[in-house]
Amino acid sequence: MIQQLVMYEEELQQINRICEVLHRDSNARAVLVIDKNGQAIASAGDVQELDVTSLSSLTAGNVAATGGIASLLAEKEFAGQFHEGEKTNVHISIIGARVILVVLFDERSSLGLVRLRVRKASVELVVVLDVLVKKSQSGSQPSVFSEITDDDIDNLFND
C-alpha cells in the first residue's frame, strides 16, 4: 500500500501562515516545512535565492540518517538538530513524526529565540497535520486519480 501525503488549499494556507508568523517572530532568514521524504511543502521569508528542492531533499536525508543513528543507540528519535555556520545557522525539528520544520537564521536572531518560537509553531502545526491526516483518510475529498485514465498516462509519455 502506498501511503500518500495529501495537501489541500485550506490547510496549506494555515501552514503558510504559521511559517510567516514564525519567520517574523524569530527574526529568521527563512522557514521551510518539508515532508519527511524530502518534498517541500511550504516556506516563508527569503527563499528566492535558495534551492528549496535540493535543500528539502538533503534535509530529509540528514534527518533520516540521524534517525538511523538514534535507532542504533536505542533512542526513539532525535527531535532536533542545530547546524552552526559562519553566517547562517540551521535549526531542524521533526513535527508530529511527519514533517520537518527548518529555520534558517543569522546574527539578527539567536538559537534561544528560534527554539522558543519553534516550540509554539510546532504545537500549531501538529493541529493542522492531524486535520490533514483525518481528511485524507476519510476519503471525503474527491481524488484527482479517480479521473485519470490509462490514456492520460500514455499521453504523458508520447513526446
Partner 1 sequence: MSFINYSSREINCKIVYYGPGLCGKTTNLQYIYNKTNPEAKGKMISLATETERTLFFDFLPLSLGEIRGFKTRFHLYTVPGQVFYDASRKLILKGADGVIFVADSQDTRREANIESVENLVHNLAAHGVGLDKLPYVIQYNKRDLPEIASVEDLRAELNTLGVPDYEASAKMGKGVFETLKGLSKLVLTKLAREG
- Please report, as ranges, the residues that interact with partner 1 according to CB under 8 A: 1-9, 12-13, 35-39, 41, 51, 53-54, 57-58, 61, 64-65, 67-68, 72, 141, 143-150, 152-154, 156-157, 159
DSSP H or E stretch at residue 24: helix 9-25
For the record, the C-alpha cell of 14 comes out as: 494555515
The minimum distance between CB 116 and partner 1, in angstroms, equals 29
8 Å CB contact between 101 and 93: yes
Nearest approach, Cβ of residue 108 and partner 1 (Å): 28
Among residues 78, 64, 10, 70, the alpha carbon closest in space to that of 34 is found at 64
Q: In the complex with partner 1, which residue's Cβ is closer, 64 or 79?
A: 64
Q: How far is the CB of 63 from partner 1 (least distance, A)?
A: 10
With respect to partner 1, which residue has the nearer C-beta, 65 or 116? 65
Minimum CB distance to partner 1 smaller for 13 or for 88: 13
Provide the β-strand partners of residue 104. Answer: 30, 90
What distance in Å separates the CA atoms of residue 28 and residue 22, rounded to the nearest whole number? 8
CB 80 to partner 1: min, Å: 19
Q: Is 53 exposed, middle or buried (0-12, 13-18, 19+ CB in 10 A)?
A: exposed
Closest distance to partner 1 from the beta carbon of 47 (Å)? 14
Quick one: cell of 106? Answer: 543569522
What are the grid coordinates assigned to 97, written together? 513524526
